[in-house]
Amino acid sequence: MGTADHRTGGHDAHHVRDGAEPPALRRDDWERPTSPSRAETAADRIADRIARTRPGARLGTKEELRAECGVSVGTFNEALRLLQTRGLVTVRPGPGGGLFAAQPPPAARLDAWARSLDERHPEEALRIRDALDPLLVEDALWHASPADIAELRRHVAALDQAAGAADPVAFARADRLLRTHLAALSPSTLLRSLYEGLLAAVERAESASTPETHVLRARYDRLAALVDALDARDRDRALRLAAAPAGTSGRGAAPAS
């Protein structure tokens, strides 16, 4: 993963003497907000330019944009990967090539469908969203970088705070933001568009609900455990948690096949 193993508390294994177990990492340690990486900062800078650029317009060559961001080749390549997985840029080789602002996919024009779910059957949006979760988790296992995991953990921390305050509105918002970032990791434009089209409807429905505190806590526990599983690249556990019924911690779900 390119970072110190959290199971050793940031120390190499040979520093643990006499076979003693290292001190356990507390949830507060990994939920503490961290500064964005240089790759994230570069990606955000290019994303800001894309937001002011018409779809399909040329942004420049890789070298031009790398120099503008003031980062190394490796860091820029990581930033470019983040932008590509979020569907913001396309890369064209050859003369006249370079980086271009991505064209909006036809599947993104699902607003009327999402509004219909919101107005008539918001529970359908929740059911379909949950059915798509394993597909997104499978993609995240392949594509999530350390920077992505850090961003997911920031959203998990917001979920924890909202659950502790028994605030369904704040919880629904944090849940949507976490899932939006999770969806951005998928290279499938269609899957991203379908999933993101459901999130606003689900957020409205869940904001208007009044779940008991233990239900919010169970949902938080499930999502926190899911991010842990993604970080560890534990496919069986990640898919088991993704398939667990909504409102549960996922501890009793059957193992994934």
pLDDT in tens, 75-93: 998 888 888 877 788 888 8
- pLDDT of amino acid 216: 93
Structure letter (DSSP) for residue 236: H
What does the pLDDT read at residue 246?
Answer: 63
Q: What is the pLDDT of residues 170-220, one digit of tens each?
A: 999 999 999 988 988 888 878 887 888 788 878 888 888 888 889 999 999
Helix and strand numbers (H, E) in the chain are 11, 3
The closest alpha carbon to 220, from 248, 194, 201, belongs to 248
User: How far, in Å, are 152, 229, 241, 247 from residue 217 at the CA level?
Assistant: 17, 18, 15, 9
What is the pTM assigned to this prediction? 0.57
* More reliable by pLDDT, 16 or 192: 192
The encoded tokens of residue 111 equal 């607003």
Around Cβ 47, how many Cβ atoms within 10 Å?
16
pLDDT mean over 223-248: 90
